[in-house]
């Protein structure tokens, strides 16, 4: 009986509005301002949410943003729980092996090492980075001891409370953090990583990826992408 | 929420705090307490049901059923929770969708699995892509309840299995001597008497379940720990209410919540134990009898 009820509920749930135009579900992390964040109204917001909305308007798609944990992004994408990842994901050769990227919608960015004092040893010390990011693999390769955290915010907190000597993350994320730390934190080194930030798709979704790619190309050409970047990244913006 | 909160940058002191604590994000934080309580209220009875069936199966005279019950207890208890919550949920979701795929799209020719990808026809998606986000959330929550129930059901099954074996054999033999059938002995003698033996184990599980709710975030449900972390983390001026790292305060608040909740649970469980011990052939039951006499 219970099983029957469950089955009925599932069928009812899956039958709803199946005829309506298929929605493209875009996943983001919501923890990486200004790329993506949950604003004070509790809604997803940020550069990527604005950009995604604009892309969908241009490509005449119905889109919805959903929040997903960074760690389980790829299994959920492959499982079809959403169709696109726009979560500050840098384009790398390694990642291209199991997913499809659009052209970058944010130029290859600088990553900062941020620490509490200028004399930290970045080659042998403890460096914090977010799990499964290009920064984390860079730290692992650099010979420093890597301390991984699930969220970007925790990596900064680790430096503040002395758990790590430094943190490596995107400059866009760290710039306001350093600026508003009252001199407590400072930038000690800069590195260039990755090929810019792009939207990621399942490998078989070439058609949808093509539509996104085309819209991004158009926005680059008419300058509206630069406008969006300036709106969110303010004076630290890197333009195309 | 309040009209003066329209422009947070002009606020200060008490007003700032008032507006901050009633922002949309904070309201979601307060609602998430409800989510956790609902999860507990639904999961506990379902897990008890799973556990009861598991224990009965393990005690069954049928060899196949007994093996099935024991395998359930052993396997689920042995697999780390984090693996269960990361992969089992996706597997469960894919199993439902595969089933629906064969029913709804018999003519579909493309393979369901190519490499890492899992693709069923759009009609078989649960819920469909075009459904509002709230249905996706409800579905995610339902999957979470099922997963929690399966995991905690296995532990419950083990506790109940032990409790059933702890009921003195003499009690059952007496019932049999009176001519009660196996089924009657089980229903009227064994089950009513086993709870008192099961209760310490069950109360442990209940307290562990309360503390396990942060695993919800792995399942895409934003629970109280997620919100505490998100709201407490230092905020730059990308947000309307910038502040430093306030996670300590949020987590202290959660600590108080969890302590209060477990304390209330302990009181209720204590009363339940006293009630169930009444008239039982245990030391506690014997002590109560003597005190009354």
Interface of B with A in 76-105 (CB under 8 A): 86-87, 90, 93-94, 96-97, 100
Going across the sheet that includes A126-130, the strands are A145-149, A126-130, A166-170, A110-115, A186-192
Hey, is the C-beta of B195 within 8 angstroms of any chain A C-beta? Answer: no
Assigned domain for A10 exists: no
- B85 secondary structure, DSSP code: I
Mean pLDDT of chain B: 87
Q: Is residue B93 part of a domain?
A: yes
**Residue range of the domain that includes B219:** 30-292
Q: Token pair of B100, please?
A: 């629906």
Instruction: State the ipTM, two decimals.
Output: 0.74
Q: Between residues 55 and 74 of chain A, which touch chain B (CB distance below 8 Å)?
A: 62, 64, 66-69, 71-72, 74
Which residues touch B23 (CB under 8 Å, ≥6 apart)? A40, A41, A42, B1, B5, B240, B241
Closest-CA residue of A relative to B112 is: A79
Q: Give me the residue from B100, B118, B229 closest to A80, CB to CB.
A: B118
> How many CB atoms neighbour CB A221 within 10 A?
10
Question: Does residue A19 fall inside a structural domain?
Answer: no
Q: Which of A65-79, B100-114, B165-179 has the highest mean pLDDT?
A: B165-179
Cβ within 8 Å, pair B242-A180: yes
Chain A, 27-56: which have a CB under 8 Å from a chain B CB?
A: 30-31, 33-34, 37-43, 46
Tokens read off for A213? 């790619």
* pLDDT at residue A20, as a whole number: 43
- pTM > 0.80: yes or no: no
Instruction: Please spell the DSSP secondary structure of A173-233, one letter per residue.
Output: HHHHHHHTTTTS-EEEEEEE-SS-B--EE-TT-HHHHHHHHHHHHHHHHTSHHHHHHHHHH
Q: What whole-number distance in Å separates Cα of residue A192 and Cα of residue B21?
A: 40
Quick check: A156 and B234 CB within 8 A?
yes
pLDDT surpasses 80 at B220: no
pLDDT > 50? residue A115: yes
Q: Encode pLDDT of A169-221 as tens digits.
A: 988 889 888 888 888 899 998 888 888 899 999 998 899 999 999 999 999 99
- Residue B5 within a domain: no
Cα separation, B82 vs B64, whole angstroms: 30
- Shortest distance between the Cα of B3 and any Cα of chain A, in A, equals 14
CA end-to-end span of chain A: 60
Q: What does DSSP say about strands A110-115 and A166-170: parallel, antiparallel, or unpaired? A: antiparallel
For residue B285, what is the domain's CATH number?
1.10.3720.10
What is the CATH number for A76? 3.40.190.10
Residues of A with Cβ-Cβ distance to B126 under 8 angstroms: 10, 13-14
Which tens digit of pLDDT belongs to each residue from A63-100?
A: 999 988 888 888 889 888 899 999 989 898 888 988 99
Chain B contacts in chain A segment 155-174 (CB below 8 A): 156-157, 160
Inside any domain, residue B1: no
Q: Are residues A36 and A60 in the same domain?
A: yes
Are residue A182 and residue A166 in the same domain, yes or no? yes
From A9-18, A42-51, A202-211, B9-18, the region with the lowest mean pLDDT: A9-18
Residues A97 and A203 in one domain: yes
Identify the residue whose tokens are 């269960």. B84
Q: What is the pLDDT of residue A8?
A: 60
Q: What distance in Å separates the CA atoms of residue A76 and residue A79, rounded to the nearest whole number?
A: 5
As a whole number of angstroms, the longest Cα–Cα distance in chain B is 83
Q: Please, which residues have CB within 8 angstroms of residue B118's CB and are 6 or more apart in sequence?
A: A78, A79, A80, B94, B97, B112
Residues β-bridged to residue A145: A126
Residues A98, A209, single domain; the answer is: yes
Taking residues B187-198, report their average pLDDT.
Answer: 91
Shared-domain flag, residues A119 and A58: no
Q: What is the pLDDT of residue B238?
A: 73
* B115–A contact, CB cutoff 8 A: yes
The larger pLDDT score, comparing residue A130 to residue B3, is at A130
pLDDT class of B48 with cuts at 50, 70, 90: very high
Residue B120: list chain A partners with CB under 8 A: 80
Kind plus residue range of the DSSP H or E element containing A8: helix A2-15
Q: In this structure, are A48 and A115 located in the same domain?
A: no
Interface probe for A, chosen from B98, B127, B236 (most Cβ of A below 10 Å), is B236
Answer positive or negative: Cα dihedral of B3, B9, B15, B19.
Answer: positive
The Cα–Cα gap between B170 and B177 comes to: 10
The tokens for A132 are 């499964």
Residues A65 and A164 in one domain: no
The domain containing residue A142 runs over which residues? 110-192
């Amino acid at each position: 009986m219970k099983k029957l009820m469950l089955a009925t509920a599932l069928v009812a749930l899956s039958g709803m509005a199946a005829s309506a135009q298929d929605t493209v579900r875009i996943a983001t992390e919501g923890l990486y301002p200004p790329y993506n964040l949950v604003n004070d109204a509790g809604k997803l917001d940020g550069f990527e949410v604005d950009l995604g909305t604009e892309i969908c308007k241009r490509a005449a798609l119905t889109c919805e943003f959903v929040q997903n944990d960074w760690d389980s992004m790829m299994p959920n994408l492959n499982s079809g729980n959403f169709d696109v990842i726009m979560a500050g994901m840098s384009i790398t050769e390694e990642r291209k092996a199991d997913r499809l990227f659009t052209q970058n919608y944010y130029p290859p960015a600088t990553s900062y090492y941020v620490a509490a004092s200028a004399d930290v040893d970045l080659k042998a010390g403890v460096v914090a980075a977010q799990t499964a990011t290009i920064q984390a693999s860079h730290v692992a390769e650099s010979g420093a001891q890597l301390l991984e955290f699930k969220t970007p915010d925790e990596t900064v907190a680790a430096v503040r409370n002395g758990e790590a000597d430094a943190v490596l993350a995107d400059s866009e994320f760290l710039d306001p953090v350093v600026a508003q730390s009252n001199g407590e934190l400072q930038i000690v080194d800069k590195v260039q990583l990755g090929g810019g930030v792009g939207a990621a798709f399942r490998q078989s979704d070439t058609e949808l990826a093509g539509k996104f790619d085309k819209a991004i190309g158009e926005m680059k050409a008419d300058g509206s992408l630069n406008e969006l970047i300036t709106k969110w990244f303010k004076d630290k913006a890197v333009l195309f | 929420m309040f009209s003066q909160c329209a422009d947070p940058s002009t606020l200060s002191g008490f007003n700032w705090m008032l507006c901050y604590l009633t922002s949309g994000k904070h309201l979601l934080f307060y609602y998430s307490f409800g989510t956790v309580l609902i999860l507990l209220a639904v999961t506990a009875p379902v897990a008890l049901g799973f556990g009861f069936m598991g224990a009965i199966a393990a005690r069954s005279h049928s060899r196949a059923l007994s093996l099935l019950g024991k395998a359930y207890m052993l396997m689920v208890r042995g697999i780390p929770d984090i693996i269960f919550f990361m992969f089992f949920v996706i597997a469960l979701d894919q199993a439902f969708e595969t089933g629906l795929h064969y029913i709804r799209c018999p003519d579909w020719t493309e393979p369901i699995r190519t490499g890492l990808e899992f693709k069923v026809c759009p009609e078989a998606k649960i819920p469909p892509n075009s459904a509002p986000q709230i249905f996706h959330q409800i579905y995610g929550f339902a999957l979470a309840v099922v997963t929690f129930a399966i995991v905690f059901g296995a532990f419950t099954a083990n506790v109940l299995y032990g409790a059933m074996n702890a009921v003195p054999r003499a009690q059952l033999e007496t019932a049999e001597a009176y001519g009660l059938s196996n089924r009657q002995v089980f229903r009227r003698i064994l089950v009513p008497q086993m709870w008192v033996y099961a209760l310490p184990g069950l109360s442990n599980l209940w307290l562990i379940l309360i503390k396990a709710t942060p695993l919800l975030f792995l399942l895409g449900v934003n629970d109280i720990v997620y919100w505490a972390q998100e709201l407490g983390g230092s905020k730059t001026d990308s947000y309307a209410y910038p502040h430093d790292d306030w996670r300590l305060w949020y987590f202290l608040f959660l600590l108080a919540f969890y302590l209060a909740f477990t304390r209330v649970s302990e009181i209720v469980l204590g009363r339940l134990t006293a009630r169930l011990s009444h008239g039982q052939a245990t030391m506690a039951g014997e002590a109560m009898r003597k005190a009354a006499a």
